[in-house]
Amino acid sequence: MGRLRRNVEPQAQPAFSRSPNNVPMNRAPVWPLRLSQFGREMVVALGVAAGAVGVIAMWWHDTAPATVDGTGPFLTAAGRVTGLLGTYLVVVEVLLMARVTWLDGMIGMDRLAVWHRRNGEYAIWLLVAHAVLTIWGYGLTAGAGVLSEAKTVVLDYPDMLAATVGLGLLVAVGVLSARAVRRRVSYHTWYFIHLYTYIALALSFAHQFNSGADFATHPLNRLIWALMYCVVAALLVAYRVVKPLITSARHRFRVVGTTNEAPGVVSVYVTGRRLDRLRAEAGQFFMWRFLTKQGWWQAHPFSLSAAPNGKWLRLTAKATGDHSSSLRHLQPGTSVILEGPYGAFTQARRRRRKALMIGAGIGVAPLRALMEVLPVRRGEMTLLYRASDAAHLALRGEIDHLAAEQGSSVHYLVGRRAEHPEYLTPGHILQLAPDVAQRDIFVCGPPHFTDMVRDSLRELGVANTQIHAESFEL
């Protein structure tokens, strides 16, 4: 491990051995946290589905059979219901990324990010269908062409121009969120583009009330719809703005030092007051906002790379962009605003006595933290650590120390993919962990890596309930 920079307080010096203070108290989980990951996701999915059924019921209640008699009216009615459902899913989209604590505890922020991406696709397609079907239906009913009717609707109907701009913003956000595009866009650019979602919602709100047949003359529907918006907006402000500010004011987080772990990899140590009250756990992550001239306006997700000990928190990051590259230059005393802790990638997911950890690159950070707190006996834990070369094995000294103390096995899988295509194939995993089917498996790394490992594990007959994966989706 590299040398810690100056001004690090004695009590903040890292301790690599496990201690009782590092192990969170075992609290009996309340229902539905006692359910499996699939069960918890089904509970939330049923809640979202129930809301969608309510939206359809609202439309059905206000749709007389005579209003869907004929192709034009039928298309217009279909446009109404797709518009209602699409708008509802956009509100759900905001809720999924509002970082609501109980929702994160139910599913985990990594899975919520996957839901967020998929739900966004459905919402955009529904809203595009709403626009096309409505204009098509109006045109057929009025005997006008589609382009002529589109011009009339956008320019002459109240608040329609603003709604059209809002739809265009949502489509732009959807395109830039596609994985192929996302990889080519910097994090802060992607983050700020997502803020247009809120603008799009605001632009479409007046259109729904003034032009929507389900709201224009229905006070109760207007009240229910407005309450839905207000509740989600309140949760967003409470958890994304108010809570982080209160938490940071209470704990007064500040940087105490940095250390180089590997080429392009740096650890940052942060201390503060009463850190034990954060209730953070190994495997979780925070949104870290360092209050420097260049970085105060952006928060980035980094996992804890050491178990919380009440004295300091540590992140370990690889320089992949301007922000992560600047972490090594943080000065002791720099103030920090933290959002979190987030994520369900913790020891609470464990159901079996033996554990297998599989990480790639900087994905080893939360696995190294979990090594401190998972209670295991000699031979019950195995770590497979994938890296392109030995120099990039970050935290190797600490991992070896913990493994020796616990009697755990560590396998460093070093080399480029083209040179070692056999790494982490089903046969290779079975060779390194013959009893893989009897283990809980914790996987962390880039999305393509976690997908590949999942596929290998499933070929070996490992149940989905045994695979606990976290990928860098935020």
Best CA proximity match to 453, nearest among 390, 367, 341, 342: 367
pLDDT on residue 19 = 38
Q: Give residue 29's pLDDT band: very low, low, confident or very high (50, 70, 90).
A: very low
Spatial CB neighbours of 95, under 8 Å, sequence gap ≥ 6: 103, 232, 235, 236
Q: Which residue did the predictor score with more confidence, 167 or 185?
A: 167
pLDDT at 191: 67
Cα angle 110-345-360, degrees, rounded to a multiple of 5: 80
pLDDT value for 46: 94
Q: Whole-angstrom Cα distance, residue 263 to residue 267?
A: 12
Assign 323 a pLDDT band (cuts: 50, 70, 90). Answer: low
pLDDT of 12: 38
Q: What is the pLDDT of residues 101-124, one digit of tens each?
A: 888 878 877 788 888 888 989 999
Does the pLDDT at position 26 exceed 50? no
| Largest separation between any pair of C-alpha atoms in the chain | 81
* Residue that wins the pLDDT comparison between 235 and 32: 235
pLDDT of residue 187: 63
Query: Span 229-236, mean pLDDT?
Result: 93
pLDDT > 90 fraction of the chain, expressed in percent and rounded: 41
**Higher pLDDT pick, 52 / 6:** 52
444 vs 184, more confident: 444
Q: What does the pLDDT read at residue 436?
A: 93
Considering 86-90, 296-300, 340-344, the range whose residues carry the highest mean pLDDT is 86-90
**22 pLDDT exceeds 50?**
no
User: Average of pLDDT values for 17-29?
Assistant: 40
Q: What is the mean pLDDT of residues 130-135?
A: 91
Provide the mean pLDDT of the chain. Answer: 83
**Residue ranges in 22-159 assigned as alpha helix (H):** 37-61, 71-96, 101-107, 109-142, 146-156
Residue 308 and residue 69 in contact, taking contact as beta carbons nearer than 8 Å: no
Domains in the chain, please, with CATH? 10-23+248-342 (2.40.30.10), 62-245 (no CATH), 347-471 (3.40.50.80)
Mean pLDDT over residues 336-347, rounded? 88
Of 36-50, 60-74, 370-384, 429-443, the least confident: 60-74
Q: What is the average per-residue pLDDT within 31-54?
A: 82
Residue 196: pLDDT over 80: no
